């Protein structure tokens, strides 16, 4: 039986207090009698610190549909050639070049949730000063708080560029006048937080789902990769490998199945549990799974562009929809990761042949979904008995896994002038090491440009519909104009009709960053909007 972080949403009073800056907390607590929670009696011991820490972890959970969550995971692939989201969502507009500074959803939610994580982390760190605990225990609490604060700052700078750095409680007046730090300063703060976590966390977590030394190292590695600090990526990837704790899970499909949660490939994930006083996730409902009164259909789907990117097992280019397909064996001869990621015509889901079936609780395809010949299999229950009620899926969402360490080192070797054949050997681990993925290895002796193309293909396929491709294509575009040859992309339905065109006039440069939310600009005249918005 798996253990998960408990009580993450069962103390609304504490949630309100923690999100309030220091001075306001004192005034708010003055209204409460002394036999209630006050600044004088909370926190005072390790149990209280556990409450604060659980509340902090609760902030990284995906518990919203229309705001699309802090990480957004597979939904974020709708901002790339990989996916399409039905509905007038901000992520859809990011993907087709129609986003504006007045749009909400992920534009404002990612900002506000990021700072909710930061403020809670700051509160916890400050509270440690007045709680009597062993120094090593205090360091562990601070390390976990700083790890999550680092995740927040890294996600914010990926999305908006430089943001205000807040490391302590601030007054309302200061909050209305604070200016943005540079992107470099924001990245440096994230790295500093990760470094503290690396120095003070153990390799093994005290409880499943909590941060570890490996998680902090892996997230720092990702932050360095996103800054093109390739030599440091190689060093850190080697250190993660030397821990001897992580390896590729034998089944690619199995990585994302409930019975294999917390497996040896997962370095850090978001924990979920269905039931009273627990929190499940809606991610499976985004893809079409789940029971309940609301007919969800498919909130996001893969595109033909993604499916066409999969190779045949022998490594030849795919172009799936331009090939002759046996509808009785639609995956035969193709990269096995296609079957684990995408539902295609002729394949089965929940024992029914796609797309002509109903799943418990409603019709498979929501009327808003116009791409009825493709769907997402990754992160979906494939056993009807396991379907969760609304908002109550047990499936954990993976933030970073060991395959990312392997491919990050491979990319860093290629981009830093390192050994190309060594990079190819790492790519081939991803293509051949699992029991259910046996692709023809990439040949050695490639030029650096050829190896770069192989690496970028492998990242796209390995992490398809996991939410990483948006950051990948943006950083590659900054490096060498990657997106100039990608857009426009036409999204078509099952009849061949045009659904939308992603960036019909070519990629728009200022879409590398989200706009600063208008609601924040109206509160603080010192915040400057990103260029182009």
pLDDT of 74: 78
Long-range residue pairs from 91-97, CB within 8 A, at least 24 positions apart, any chain: 94/470, 94/511, 94/514, 95/502, 96/500, 96/501, 96/502, 96/503, 96/504, 97/502, 97/503, 97/504, 97/505, 97/507, 97/508, 97/511
Taking CA atoms, 249 is separated from 2, 132, 260, 267, in Å, by: 18, 42, 9, 12
Residue 25 has pLDDT above 60, yes or no: no
pLDDT band at 6 (very low <50, low <70, confident <90, very high): very low
Higher pLDDT, 414 or 352: 414
Residue-wise pLDDT for 265-278, tens only, equals 999 998 876 665 55
Among candidates 514, 506, 517, which has minimal Cα distance to 531?
514
Buried b (16+ CB within 10 A) or exposed e, 434-445: beebebeebeee
Residue-wise pLDDT for 84-136, tens only, equals 887 777 888 999 999 998 888 889 889 999 999 999 999 999 999 989 999 99
Q: For 285-309, what is the mean pLDDT? A: 69
User: Which range has the top average pLDDT, 36-50, 57-71, 244-258?
Assistant: 244-258
Residue 55 has pLDDT above 50, yes or no: yes
pLDDT band at 379 (very low <50, low <70, confident <90, very high): confident
Q: For 174-184, what is the mean pLDDT? A: 95
Spatial separation of the C-alpha atoms in residues 272 and 79, rounded to whole Å? 25
Task: Tell me the percentage of the chain whose pLDDT exceeds 90.
Answer: 62
Pairing of strands 83-85, 300-302: antiparallel
Spatial separation of the C-alpha atoms in residues 364 and 516, rounded to whole Å? 36
pLDDT band at 294 (very low <50, low <70, confident <90, very high): very low
Among candidates 38, 379, 26, 48, which has minimal Cα distance to 171?
26
Residue 19 has pLDDT above 50, yes or no: no
Query: Which token pair is 42?
Result: 């909370």
Taking CA atoms, 284 is separated from 115, 331, 396, 464, 469, in Å, by: 26, 22, 10, 15, 19
Q: For 379-383, what is the mean pLDDT? A: 77
pLDDT band at 31 (very low <50, low <70, confident <90, very high): very low
Among candidates 297, 315, 256, 326, which has minimal Cα distance to 74?
256
Higher pLDDT, 388 or 92: 92
Q: For 168-191, what is the mean pLDDT? A: 95
Residue 20 has pLDDT above 50, yes or no: no
pLDDT of 401: 98
Q: Packing angle between helix 469-480 and helix 448-462, nearest 10 degrees?
A: 160
Residue 354 has pLDDT above 90, yes or no: no
Cβ(218)–Cβ(240) below 8 Å: yes
pLDDT of 23: 35
Spatial separation of the C-alpha atoms in residues 31 and 25, rounded to whole Å? 11
State the DSSP code for 393: B
Taking CA atoms, 452 is separated from 423, 437, 448, in Å, by: 10, 22, 6
3-class state of residue 292 by DSSP = coil
pLDDT of 336: 98
Cβ(435)–Cβ(251) below 8 Å: yes
pLDDT of 228: 98
Residue-wise pLDDT for 334-346, tens only, equals 999 999 999 898 8
Residue 310 has pLDDT above 90, yes or no: yes
Among candidates 504, 503, 508, which has minimal Cα distance to 531?
508
Secondary structure (DSSP) of 435-451? SS--PPPPPSS--HHHH
Provide the mean pLDDT of the chain: 85
Domains recognised in the chain with CATH numbers: 15-81+93-201+513-523 (1.25.40.390)
């Amino acid at each position: 039986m798996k253990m998960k972080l408990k009580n993450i949403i069962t103390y609304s009073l504490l949630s309100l207090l923690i999100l309030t800056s220091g001075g306001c907390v004192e005034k708010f607590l003055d209204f409460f009698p002394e036999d209630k929670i006050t600044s004088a009696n909370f926190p005072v011991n390790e149990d209280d610190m556990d409450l604060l820490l659980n509340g902090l972890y609760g902030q990284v959970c995906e518990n919203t549909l229309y705001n699309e969550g802090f990480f957004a995971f597979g939904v974020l692939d709708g901002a790339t050639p990989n996916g399409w989201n039905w509905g007038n969502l901000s992520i859809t507009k990011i993907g087709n070049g129609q986003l504006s500074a007045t749009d909400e959803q992920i534009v404002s939610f990612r900002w506000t949730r990021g700072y909710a994580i930061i403020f809670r982390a700051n509160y916890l760190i400050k509270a440690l000063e007045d709680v009597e605990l062993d120094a090593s225990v205090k360091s562990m609490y601070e390390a976990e708080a700083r790890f999550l604060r680092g995740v927040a700052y890294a996600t914010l700078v990926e999305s908006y560029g430089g943001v205000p750095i807040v490391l302590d409680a601030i007054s309302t007046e200061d909050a209305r006048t604070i200016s943005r730090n540079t992107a470099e300063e924001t990245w440096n703060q994230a790295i500093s937080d990760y470094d503290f976590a690396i120095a003070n966390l153990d390799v093994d977590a005290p409880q499943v789902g909590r941060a570890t030394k490996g998680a902090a190292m892996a997230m720092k590695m990702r932050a360095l990769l996103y800054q093109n600090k390739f030599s440091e990526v190689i060093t850190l990837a080697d250190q993660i490998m030397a821990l001897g704790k992580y390896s590729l899970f034998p089944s690619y499909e199995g990585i994302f199945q409930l019975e294999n949660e917390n497996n040896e490939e997962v370095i850090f994930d978001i924990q979920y549990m269905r039931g009273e006083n627990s929190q499940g996730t809606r991610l499976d409902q985004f893809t079409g799974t789940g029971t309940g009164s609301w007919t969800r259909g498919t909130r996001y789907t893969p595109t033909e562009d993604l499916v066409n990117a999969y190779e045949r097992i022998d490594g030849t280019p795919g172009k799936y929809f331009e090939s002759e397909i046996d509808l009785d064996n639609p995956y035969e001869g193709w990269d096995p990761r296609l079957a684990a990621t995408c539902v295609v015509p002729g394949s089965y889901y929940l024992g029914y042949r796609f797309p002509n079936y109903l799943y418990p609780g409603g019709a498979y395809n929501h009327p808003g979904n116009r791409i009825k010949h493709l769907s997402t299999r990754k992160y979906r229950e494939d056993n009807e008995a396991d379907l969760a009620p609304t908002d109550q899926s047990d499936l954990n969402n993976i933030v970073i896994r060991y395959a990312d360490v392997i491919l990050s080192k491979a990319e860093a070797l290629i981009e830093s002038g390192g050994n190309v054949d060594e990079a190819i050997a790492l790519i081939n681990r991803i293509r051949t090491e699992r029991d259910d993925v046996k692709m023809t290895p990439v040949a050695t002796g490639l030029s650096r440009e050829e190896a770069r193309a192989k690496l970028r293909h492998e990242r796209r396929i390995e992490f398809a519909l996991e939410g990483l491709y948006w950051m990948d294509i943006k950083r590659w575009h900054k490096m060498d104009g990657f997106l100039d040859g990608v857009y426009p992309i036409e999204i078509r339905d099952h009849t061949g009709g045009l659904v939308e065109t992603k960036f019909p006039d070519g990629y728009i440069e200022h879409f590398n960053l989200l706009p600063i939310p208008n609601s924040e600009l109206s509160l603080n005249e010192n915040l400057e909007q990103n260029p182009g918005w």
